[in-house]
Amino acid sequence: MFGLNEKVVFAGHGVARISRIIERSIGGSSCKLFELTFLNNDMTILVPINSSSHTGIRKISSSDNVEKAYLTIAQPAKKTDCPELTASSWNKRNRDYHNKLRTGSLLDLSEIYRDLSYIATYKELSFGEKNLLKQTEQLLAEEIGESRHKDPDEIIAYIRSSLCKYSLAEIPG
């Protein structure tokens, strides 16, 4: 379980601190709630303690998970043929990306980031793709930065350089 002032990850929204544990009456019964205050935006939410694991709250990733995330970003992306980059295939990819985003898994975020970055080398990303790429980059930077005690901007520079190394290695000759 989680404790007061502990930093946690809330799936799809980033790193938050458990600022209070409060009790409220909901539907005639008493319920304890975590008050989550997000570190990088002005947002506070209440999450029922007894269902916190089902709502997407988890501990900050370990060093091992961060290393796996870096390796995922540096790996070749899932090969996507140019015909697969059509609007109709975007709908399916978008559903898959958002399902991964809802899991809150650092590795899933890494895959989304890697794959969208790869697609961006072949075509200009749509508005939705650009926003999703930016969102996953920010979520990765927040969590990895918290795990490694580094500034998120340093993390962004590092993951972008990891992509550049891969992209340059792919260029023939």
- pLDDT score of 80: 57
**CA angle (22, 27, 28) in 5-degree steps:** 85
- pLDDT score of 104: 86
What is the pTM for the complete model shown? 0.85
- pLDDT score of 75: 86
The domains of the chain, with CATH numbers, are 7-59 (2.40.10.170), 63-170 (1.20.58.1290)
Q: Which tokens belong to 65?
A: 């998970």
Region for residue 8 given its phi and psi (left: phi exceeds 0; alpha: psi -120 to 50; beta: otherwise): beta
Low-confidence stretches of the chain (pLDDT < 50) are: 166-173
- pLDDT score of 146: 95
| Sheet of strand 57-59: strand arrangement | 44-48, 29-38, 14-26, 7-10, 57-59
- pLDDT score of 165: 57
What are the pLDDT digits (tens) for 124-159? 888 989 999 999 999 999 999 999 999 999 999 999
- pLDDT score of 169: 42
Classified as helix, coil or strand, 6 is coil
